[in-house]
Structure 1
Amino acid sequence: MKVSVIGILFIITLFGIGYLIPREDFTGQLTCFAIAFGLYVLLLREFGCNARWFLSGIFGAVILRLTFIVAVPELSDDFYRYVFDGQLLNNGFNPYLYIPQVAFEKTGIVSNAYWETLLTEMNSSSYFSVYPPLHQSIFWISAMTGENLLYNIVSIRLILIVFEVLNMFLIWKIIMAWGLPKNTLWLYAFNPLVIIEISGNLHFEGIVLTGLLLSIYAFGKKKYSTASLGWSFAVGLKLTPLMLGPLWLKAWSKNKLVFFLILSGFLIVLLLFPLIIDNGFAGFWKSLRLYQSNFEFNASIYYVLREVFSFYLGYNPIAYLGPIMNFAAFSGILVFVYCWKIEKAEDLAEGMVWIYLIFLLLQPVVHPWYLIPAFGISVLTKNRVVLIWTFLVFLSYSAYRSDEVKESYPIISFEYGLLYFYAGVKIIPMLLNKIEFLWKKSDFRDLFE
């Protein structure tokens, strides 16, 4: 099948997801997504390792993302909070100080149909903003287009697409530096979940990926200041990349490590400094803790433990299991990093993927877009667990089949059953072999012999 035909069919399926099929019609959404994923596989085969397809491939990837250019996100309503926070900034108010439900009363902003739409449609009107300052800067830019929701959406989307082009550029630079197959780029560029969640649903994990890719590329070039900038940028956008800190401790030699830590600490504090203004951090932290201790969605191990210990945990199991799972994730990451050896940039990238997997599989909330940083890095490795998951995770949208969010546990079991089966058959043996090899080479082994 010719590439142009596949591309047209791909655009049609994305158009259906973005413009025609409501999220309550899960069957329709899933059908279009499955077709898009099949077309994705066909595109990978058609492009192969042929370098002459490079420019047309990048152009096609951008066109796929522009399919959503004037679409109002269907599968996620987070963007209403984005625009609300941006408009507060544009009116001179600190978004960390006001709960949307009372913002009009406290700020004196005159409500109108535009503001009421933002307030009534958002899913977070009763708590403070949880988006770090770098997020807020993009929200503010979108608000400069005026009190027009479509203009706000389009401006955010265009910014996200610009960073997607940067991601493709960085992946290509790493491919060239590491001598990887040329078709590695298309694994990311044409992935339907990436396109839908970033361009369609306006999530910022693609920008997080930009920072992490920059840090990986710079590490390979031994440019510790650029690596620090990339990682700090990712942390400043989403706090979760902080979990990669132990891996960086293992990656650098002593002299470079000190400089890397000092520079990273300075940059992260600088990027998060606006939280301190007028004690905005108090509201930010309160909402962040609320999120971690109250919400459950598309979890795996957490749901199993919740059911096993439900008799002992009472009506609010996450209050107990949440901290336990976070501690387990932190401990698992430390153990993994201790066993992992970093001799080259490829080892750093693969280590990041495993840390993300440990973290995500132990979380009580795993939205589909959470996978994007891990997936974007994983295309640079032989680990294809996250690639498989980018298809299976769409099943979690079955929870939106009605106005009330209600998850289907058989569907979630199917999602994770296939994921764990694939990991057990294909990936875990490879990981164990590598850890065994490292164990045989380690000084720690000598203590037991």
Structure 2
Amino acid sequence: MPLLLAISSLLFYWAFAYNIVRTDYIKLVTLYIAVFILFYNIIKQLKHNTKALTYLAFGFRAIFILAIPNLSQDFYRFIWDGRTILEGINPYLHTVESFINAGKYPVAQALELRAGMGSLNASHFTNYPPINQLCFTIAALFASKSILGSVIVMRLLIIAADFGTLHYGSKLLEKLKLPVHHIFWYILNPFIIIELTGNLHFEGVMVFFLVWSIYLLYSNKWVLAAVVFALSVATKLIPLMFLPLFYQWFVFGNWNIIKKTSQKAPQEDSKNKLDLLPTPRYNYWKGITKLIAFYALVILTTVLLFAPFYSSEFINNYSKTVALWFGNFEFNASLYYIAREIGYLFRGYNEIAIIGKAASILVVCFVITLSFLRKNKTMTQLITAMLMVLSFYYFTATTVHPWYIAMLLILSVFTKYKFPLVWSFVIILSYLAYVNVNSMDKSENLWVIGLEYLVVYGVFIWEVFIKKAPRFLEA
């Protein structure tokens, strides 16, 4: 049976890599459902054979090596940025259109790359942080005149990051006394294989550095953990929102206990079982000092990574580009679409700028609340808090591309929550968002989006507030 499941998966992944187009919706969804069912059964069959699961995970990735991504066009911009850096051009200071409109072609295959990335991407400044840019530059170094060559190099880098995630994720699961095979809910997941290896999204590199950093932190190597955490931030900015959550880990974590004072045992008829436990005492100022040093190292390392690209124009261009995600773009959102409709009802036009800012304020308030009012003393509690913060951010965001939830999925591996795994299955519906009977209608099909989030919110509410409420509030 495992052999049959593996061969079937290989065939389906080959179809995904070389025999599908984004607009072939029925085939896309059918293949994805099939490969996801196979993935689930493979893990169930081989959960005690992690070596076989490892071979399968990277065997499936190998199928995509020679494939040009067919569900995303972002990789064209990746190639452009890497090649401009090799030419000594700061990619943060120029849009693609500024070169093309001036009749300048600073890199090989400039017109082909511009056509591939599309006008929207070409008209904006790049928003990819330095570690991303390093990966793009490595691809340009080895394949400066071949799009396929650049794709292969970037794909190998992403696969290497997955190897790192598998290694440190497994070790972290062992330390947390959780089943090691749980890491394959991420590594072997078709969503991860297709979106990251197949479509060349570098969330996998960000995930690798974050998992490595968490492992180092749990091993009490907080200095190196801070540097590696900064590498995750310098790949994608998302991990920045986790920084406040480290407060309780550093101040009230087990490593910082200086003394345990025993309490008098209660009478046998005492109902307060907590009286049986010793009361821990913490070296508060030692924890605060390490926390501040951790933050300083993260910020300093991040700044140093951005430093080679620094200029006044860079600050202006980068901040404007990042702001676009909060005030201009909208895709596959949930609560935002409800707020947008309310805005239409009362104001008569799209209030995305106001709603985007309000959502950002809500996220900040939520992060602060979880940082100080929820128990985040143990590593499991800390990772669970990260999962909840990121979930809240995506639930309120104006734009949620499929590959964004890779971080949610890896965090869930170290917790008891499975709604990100369910989301990785139904996320395929986001590719159907523009299926409309009238081909002139370019708006998203909100019925499709609604179905996706009906499933996600249903599982989320069941796990967090009904079935497992105490785990979120205390564990």
| TM-score, L = length of structure 1 | 0.92
* 1:136 and 2:173 are equivalent in the alignment: no
Rounded to whole Å, the distance in 2 between the matches of 1:120 and 1:179 is: 50
Question: Which residue of 1 is the match for residue 391 of structure 2?
Answer: 357
C-alpha displacement of 1:404? 7.8
Q: Which of 291, 310, 317 is 2:351 aligned to?
A: 317
SS in 1 for 2:310: helix
Structure 1 residues 356 and 56, CA gap change in structure 2 (3 angstroms)? same
Aligned partner letter, 2:14: F
Residues 72-97 of structure 1 show CA distances to partners (whole Å, capped at 9, x for unaligned) of 11111100110111111121111111
Rounded to whole Å, the distance in 2 between the matches of 1:63 and 1:163 is: 15
C-alpha displacement of 1:405? 5.3
Question: Which residue of 2 is the match for residue 301 of structure 1?
Answer: 335
Alignment of 1:347-386 (within 5 A): 347-386=381-420
Cα pair 1:214 1:226 within 8 Å, conserved: no
Question: Which residue of 2 is the match for residue 121 of structure 1?
Answer: 116
Unaligned runs of 5+ residues in structure 2 are 251-286
Rounded to whole Å, the distance in 2 between the matches of 1:434 and 1:34 is: 31
Residues 360-396 of structure 1 show CA distances to partners (whole Å, capped at 9, x for unaligned) of 1110100111000121121111011111110111100
SS in 1 for 2:407: helix
Question: Which residue of 1 is the match for residue 168 of structure 2?
Answer: 170
Cα pair 2:79 2:136 within 8 Å, conserved: yes
C-alpha displacement of 1:434? 4.2
C-alpha displacement of 1:325? 1.1
Alignment of 1:82-93 (within 5 A): 82-93=78-89
Cα pair 2:340 2:351 within 8 Å, conserved: yes
Aligned partner letter, 1:126: S
Question: Which residue of 1 is the match for residue 456 of structure 2?
Answer: 419
SS in 1 for 2:178: coil
Question: Which residue of 2 is the match for residue 33 of structure 1?
Answer: 32
Cα pair 2:344 2:350 within 8 Å, conserved: no
Aligned partner letter, 2:20: I
Aligned partner letter, 1:360: Y
Cα pair 1:395 1:412 within 8 Å, conserved: yes
* 1:389 and 2:423 are equivalent in the alignment: yes
Cα root mean square deviation, aligned = 2.0
Residues 101-137 of structure 1 show CA distances to partners (whole Å, capped at 9, x for unaligned) of 122566953677x211111221311111111111111
The more displaced of 286-295 and 349-358 is 286-295
Unaligned runs of 5+ residues in structure 1 are 439-449
Rounded to whole Å, the distance in 1 between the matches of 2:90 and 2:45 is: 50
SS in 1 for 2:122: coil
Sequence identity (%)? 29
Question: Which residue of 1 is the match for residue 361 of structure 2?
Answer: 327
Rounded to whole Å, the distance in 1 between the matches of 2:460 and 2:106 is: 54
Larger radius of gyration: 2
Cα pair 2:374 2:474 within 8 Å, conserved: no
SS in 1 for 2:298: helix
* Aligned residues between the structures: 433
The more displaced of 284-293 and 22-31 is 284-293
SS in 1 for 2:126: coil
C-alpha displacement of 1:334? 1.6
Cα pair 2:333 2:399 within 8 Å, conserved: yes
Aligned partner letter, 1:357: S
Structure 1 residues 178 and 110, CA gap change in structure 2 (3 angstroms)? closer
SS in 2 for 1:146: coil
Residues 36-93 of structure 1 show CA distances to partners (whole Å, capped at 9, x for unaligned) of 1100110111112x2xx22222121111111111111111110011011111112111
Alignment of 1:142-181 (within 5 A): 142-144=139-141, 145-181=143-179
Rounded to whole Å, the distance in 1 between the matches of 2:75 and 2:301 is: 27
Moved >6 Å (runs of 4+): none
Residues 156-212 of structure 1 show CA distances to partners (whole Å, capped at 9, x for unaligned) of 000000001100111111122222113212211210101111100100111111111
Structure 1 residues 404 and 119, CA gap change in structure 2 (3 angstroms)? farther
Alignment of 1:237-248 (within 5 A): 237-248=235-246
Structure 1 residues 91 and 435, CA gap change in structure 2 (3 angstroms)? closer
Question: Which residue of 2 is the match for residue 5 of structure 1?
Answer: 4
Rounded to whole Å, the distance in 1 between the matches of 2:401 and 2:101 is: 33
C-alpha displacement of 1:302? 0.4
SS in 2 for 1:180: coil
Cα pair 1:275 1:281 within 8 Å, conserved: no
Cα pair 1:104 1:110 within 8 Å, conserved: no
Rounded to whole Å, the distance in 2 between the matches of 1:400 and 1:306 is: 18
Question: Which residue of 1 is the match for residue 275 of structure 2?
Answer: none
Question: Which residue of 2 is the match for residue 442 of structure 1?
Answer: none
The more displaced of 218-227 and 366-375 is 218-227
Question: Which residue of 2 is the match for residue 441 of structure 1?
Answer: none
Question: Which residue of 2 is the match for residue 445 of structure 1?
Answer: none
Rounded to whole Å, the distance in 2 between the matches of 1:383 and 1:125 is: 39
Rounded to whole Å, the distance in 2 between the matches of 1:31 and 1:237 is: 33
Aligned partner letter, 2:96: P
C-alpha displacement of 1:221? 1.2
Question: Which residue of 1 is the match for residue 257 of structure 2?
Answer: none
Rounded to whole Å, the distance in 2 between the matches of 1:370 and 1:105 is: 32
Question: Which residue of 1 is the match for residue 93 of structure 2?
Answer: 97
Rounded to whole Å, the distance in 1 between the matches of 2:98 and 2:343 is: 39
Rounded to whole Å, the distance in 1 between the matches of 2:86 and 2:416 is: 45
Question: Which residue of 2 is the match for residue 346 of structure 1?
Answer: 380
Cα pair 1:130 1:288 within 8 Å, conserved: yes
| TM-score, L = length of structure 2 | 0.87
Aligned partner letter, 2:323: R
Structure 1 residues 341 and 278, CA gap change in structure 2 (3 angstroms)? same
Cα pair 1:23 1:400 within 8 Å, conserved: no
SS in 2 for 1:30: helix
